[in-house]
Structure 1
Amino acid sequence: MGADLADLVLPAACAGCGTERVPLRFGICTACVAELENSHPYATTPDPPPPAMPPCTTLGPYAGALRGALLAYKERGRHRLAGPLGGLLAGVVAEAAVRGGGGPRVPLVVVPVPSTVSAARERGGDHMARLAGHVVRRLRRAGWEADVRQPLRALPRADSASLDVAGRAAAAESSLRIRGARIRVSRRRPTMRGTLIVVDDIVTTGATLAAVTVRLREVDMQVTGAAVLAATRLRRHRGGAPGESDLRVPPGPEVLAHVPRTRGDGRPSAG
């Protein structure tokens, strides 16, 4: 009720499409909720994939309502979107786990890609750690044995927009460090012998997901796969360097029936 009253007293444009003066639920209009709910997780691979890139599953292309909701949550302080976005990401994580041979009865560890200290400060917290918390709570309600681990920390790194795929991979890997104390605690837990899924908001070149996979392997944490909310493609300039985003991502297969789904408000769907 408090969330609904806040929308009435402090109306805001829909995070997905920008439409104003429409009924909102957690900042998203009915049309955008329907668009997001009609998305189904599918496999995606950057072209070309960097070495060590894990199998990746996404909810959809970085476009439309999904792009708007991610930008509003990540860059514009719309933190109430963490619930519904986390619910959607839970379905992607479950699909990635199943593709990797896991399932509700197999212990699942979710590892969010870490934010730098400065990025977390600017965004009011680590946005992926927050989403990962919602993911695990949603999966537990659906009967999964799931937990969150944060064994990595991120150091500041220079802008990699002008780098090629190999350069981005090297920059991403050098910016990640293992938190030794947390690894020692994690290794004693039986869940570390189960399925490990790395989660991020967007995948483009795959450099970050590949770098996380390399770092985790160094401490015997084997990554099963990755789950992201959105995937982009990169056009190539004549010289072969990455260019602007190309959002044309082919649709994927239907999600498996046992993967948990949510409504636009982050609660389980009746379907």
Structure 2
Amino acid sequence: MTATGRPDPAGWWAVLADLVLPVGCAGCRAERVPLTQGVCADCVAMLRALRPAPAAPTPAPPGMPDCFALGAYQAPLRETLLAYKERGRHGLAWPLGSLLAEVVAAAVGGPRPVVLVPVPATARAARARHGDHLRRLTRQAAGRLRRAGWPVLVAHPLRALPRPDSADLDSAGRAQAAATAFRVRGGSFRVPGGLDRLRQAAVEHPVVLLDDIVTTGATLAAVTRLLAANGIPVAVAAVLAATIRRRLG
């Protein structure tokens, strides 16, 4: 992958696991091939060739911020994401988080202080995946940006409420479910000074909303509206993949 700076221990563990565990390539599922951070050489080359670009659902829901995606939700990006989220390949958080950092950099436009706010997972999803998968990606993305000299604040001001699986919903259903799917956290949410500190930071620096995939844009729009209603304007969203039925660029 294209991570810069000194790799963290979690990344080294992922590389070590590739050498000793009988796992296939996360991107194409090829077996008995050399892997780099869980991905074979051919898939690494395809992932490296991806370039962040604007990702616009058609039509975009009201309130959706400008959004950048690394690429279309198709192999090997799709398969690598699924391996990470659904197949327990948690070591992929390091390379995927590094790729998400590249999307943030493209969305913001250059090294500068940023506030990263990941879309939270529901408690049910976090239990099924042994943790909030997007939080892991956000930690890795923030680390890569910091190693490249970016001042980064990571905030978790929202919690996710139980909701239906979006895979079973159409566009209208996704929008309706997303509209009531999140709440502002009470008390501390790992930002010194809490909500007031985050509001101040949002005035001074761009807030980048993070997610793994954009489909209809309903979730990004709902979270953006909720944050704005609480004095936290979102400047842009950054995601790894946009579903192939939506327009990129």
Is TM > 0.5 for Structure 1 vs Structure 2? yes
The one-letter code of the counterpart of 1:134 is: Q
Q: Is the 8 A contact 2:207 2:235 kept in 1?
A: yes
User: Which residue does the alignment assign to 2:90?
Assistant: 79
Please, which of 104, 109, 122 is the counterpart of residue 111 of structure 2?
A: 104
Q: Is the 8 A contact 1:198 1:226 kept in 2?
A: yes
Please, which of 164, 185, 188 is the counterpart of residue 194 of structure 2?
A: 185
Structure with the higher helix share, 1 or 2? 2
Q: Is the 8 A contact 1:50 1:165 kept in 2?
A: no
Separation of aligned partners in 1, 2:124 and 2:102: 30
Cα deviation digits, residues 11-37 of structure 1 (max 9, x gap): 211000011110012211111111101
1:39 partnered with 2:50: yes
1:12 partnered with 2:18: no
User: Which residue does the alignment assign to 1:267?
Assistant: none
> Aligned residues, how many?
233
**Residues 1-271 of structure 1 mapped to structure 2, 5 A cutoff:** 3-98=14-109, 103-105=110-112, 107-161=113-167, 163-182=169-188, 185-188=194-197, 190-193=200-203, 194-233=205-244, 246=245, 249-250=247-248, 252=249
The one-letter code of the counterpart of 2:162 is: P
CA RMSD of aligned residues (A): 1.9
Distance 1:56 1:7, change over 3 A: same
Distance 1:77 1:160, change over 3 A: closer
Per-residue deviation, 1:2: 5.2
The one-letter code of the counterpart of 1:88 is: L
Cα deviation digits, residues 94-118 of structure 1 (max 9, x gap): 11112xxxx423x200000100011
Q: Is the 8 A contact 1:96 1:226 kept in 2?
A: yes
Q: Is the 8 A contact 1:165 1:205 kept in 2?
A: yes
Separation of aligned partners in 2, 1:163 and 1:123: 21
Unaligned stretches of 5+ residues in structure 2: 1-11
Q: What TM-score results when the alignment is normalised by the length of structure 2?
A: 0.87
Separation of aligned partners in 2, 1:140 and 1:55: 23
Separation of aligned partners in 2, 1:166 and 1:33: 36
The one-letter code of the counterpart of 1:135 is: A
**Most deviating of 186-195 and 168-177:** 186-195
What secondary structure, in the 3-state scheme, does the structure 1 residue paired with 2:131 have?
coil
Cα deviation digits, residues 142-201 of structure 1 (max 9, x gap): 111111100010011124456553442221020101013247614225533210010100
Identity level (%): 57
**Most deviating of 76-85 and 164-173:** 164-173
What secondary structure, in the 3-state scheme, does the structure 1 residue paired with 2:187 have?
helix
Separation of aligned partners in 2, 1:205 and 1:29: 31
